[in-house]
Every structure is written in structure tokens, then in C-alpha cells.
Amino acid sequence: MLGDVLTSTIIADQLKITYPNCQIDYLITPMAASLVKNHPSVDNLILASNKDFESFTSILKLAKKLKKNNYQLCIDSYGKNNSALLSYIVNATRRIGYKKWFSSLAYTDVIKNEPNRGIYKTGVALGSRMVLLKPLEKNIQWHLKPKIHLTVDEIEQGKQWLEQKGLDLTNSVTMISALGSSKEKTLPFKELASLLDFIVQNTETQILFNYIPNQIDQIKELYELCSLKTKEHIFLDAFAPNIRDFLKILHHCTAIIGNEGGAINMGKALDINTFAIFAPWINKSSWNIGEDGKNHVSVHLMDYKPNLYNNQSASTFKKKALSLYSHFEAGMMQKDLKSFLNHHY
């Protein structure tokens, strides 16, 4: 998951603070590598596909390749049984991972995934990464946040691309996170279209959608639900062909608004203003990274209708996600969204 990839980069940042001369390799999938490209705390990206983790044989093959590097330290921020097995076989001098049933077999240092809620009042997912450094550093920089690093040339390429697509960069541009990673993480299009109408009515901003070509039918469905005025502000055919190009474009946006997920986290890592709509079954406190009520704002059904949850955690309601969404109406978000828009447009 792209959000997990980004949050784990702060481990590398802290390691470079603690051990300035160390070499840090990041084991990563090819798709996610775009997020870590040019990161100053990562020396090498080692690409591994999902297939490399599908069987014991494939994990063993990957481990043999990694073992040649004679690692002194291996930090498993993924924390699954296959990554734990890989950590064990690589046989680094020190191996750090989360406390689970298999941990004592795989790691030399086992850490409880219990970040200090006094430090992480928002974005507990960051704390979950940083606690892995407790065996190595007493003075952990708990304030560290993920960053994406674009070159000057890439920023210029993003500007030129937008201009070629007909956008006027003297006016605001807004990226819409229209689709979550699943239907259970996507605000119904009727409500999202209503919010888009509200955004255009209040800002006259130019709108881009974050999507890939095979999602175009879903995007068109959303587009058709928008008002005629809103449609005039949407650049429907302007989409980035890959993640790195998306980042070049997102850099020039005033804000990214919509379903919480990888795109929202990319916006935060680029210091772009974000307004995130959480799925009703996601624990907001884990992923509302950097929320300050101004530059980064998030909303959750529990904020507006807490009685629906009866004091139970949001994560217990995953199976009821679609029915919960029926209660998540655009109107209830408009006050918070208007405040956000007033700050940035």
C-alpha cells in the first residue's frame, strides 16, 4: 500500500540522523519505487515484485540475493509472516520487527506496536514506524514526516504538462481523489458530485481527477452527476500515466480533496493542502497524519453521527461500510469544507 511505503521512509530519515554514514537499502515494489525516488535518506532501491513473496521458494530466492549484501541491520516495517521469514533468512546481525506470534523466531529485537498517543495525537501510523527504532536510538525525532522529493526538472515538466492540457496556472487547480482503493473506501458518487459542485461554486477552481485508464467509466459516471457549471471546470482527459507523473502534476495543485488513501498521503508528502474523507470503517487517528485543522483536514462519519458507532471502534464496521456510507451525506461536510476552501482559495 502506497501510504505504508511513504510512512516507512521516516525510518530511513531517523537512521541517517543516528548513523550519518550508513548505507540504507529499501526493499520495495516497482510501482511504489516512484514515491521514494531521489529520497536523500535512501541509498539504494531494491525492487521486488509481489510474486517474490508468494511462496517459500520465491522468498528463499530473494533472501539469497539479499544475503550477499551482508546486512548488519534489517527493519521489517511490513510485519507479515512472509516478510518476517525473509528477515530471518537474510540473517542480518540485528533484525527488528513487531511483536507477533512468529516474532521471536524471526527477529533479534521484538517491539510492541504501541506508539505514545501523547506524542501522536494524529497520524498514529507514523508512530508505529518510529517505535521500531527504539532499540537503536534514545532521542528519536518523533516529529519526522514523510517527504517526496521532486527535481527542478520534474516540477517544470509538471507545469508544462498542465499547460499543454489547457489549464491556466494563474488560477487554482484542485486534484480530486475520486476513487478509494476499493468500493468500501469510496464515498458514493452522488455525494462526491455534490461536493464538487460546492467546491466550484465557492472557488471557480480547475478540477483534475486522480485515476488510471481502466477506471475511466467510473470517472465518467461521477462526471455526469455533476452540474453543468462544474463540468466546465473539469479537465476529464487530463490524467497522469504513472505515479511519478502524477506527483509532478500534484505539486502544482492548490489542494487535493476526496477519499483518504495513497493520493492524499502523496499530497501531504509534497506539502500540498489536503481535505480527506475517511471511509466509515477506517480508524481516522491512524492516518490523519499532520492534521492541523487548516492545511490538512479530515472528516469521518463518526465526527457527525457518533451514535451510529455506539462507542465501538470504527474498524469493527468494515462489513457495514456501504450501509454506513448511506448516512454520510455531502451536506454535513460542507461547513468543514467551506472553512478549508476559505483558507486556501
Tens-digit pLDDT profile for residues 263-288: 999 999 999 999 999 999 988 888 88
Q: What is the pLDDT of residues 28-70, one digit of tens each?
A: 999 899 999 999 999 999 999 888 888 899 999 999 999 999 9
Residue 147: other Cβ atoms inside 10 A = 16
User: Domain 152-344 is classified in which CATH homologous superfamily?
Assistant: Glycogen Phosphorylase B; (3.40.50.2000)
Q: What is the 3-state secondary structure (H, E, C) of 258-322?
A: EECCHHHHHHHHCCCEEEEECCCCCCHHHHCCCCCCCCEEEECHHHHCHHHCCCCCHHHHHHHHH
Where are the chain's structural domains? 2-133, 152-344
Asked, colleague to colleague, whether 2-133 and 152-344 share their fold, the answer is: yes
Pick the CATH number of 2-133 from 3.40.640.10, 3.40.50.2000, 3.30.365.10, 3.30.70.3280: 3.40.50.2000
DSSP reduced 3-state for 242: coil
Question: Rounded to whole angstroms, what are the CA distances from 211 to 27, 153, 208, 328?
Answer: 26, 24, 9, 23
Q: Can you tell me which residue has the cell 477506517? A: 282
For the chain, the first-to-last Cα distance in angstroms comes to 31
Reply yes or no on whether the pLDDT at 313 is more than 80: no
Q: In this predicted structure, what is the pLDDT of residue 180?
A: 85
Residue 169: other Cβ atoms inside 10 A = 12
Residue 143: other Cβ atoms inside 10 A = 9
pTM (predicted TM-score): 0.92
Cα(284)–Cα(300) distance, integer angstroms: 7
The angle, 0 to 180 degrees and rounded to 10, between the axes of the packed helices 189-203 and 216-225 is: 60
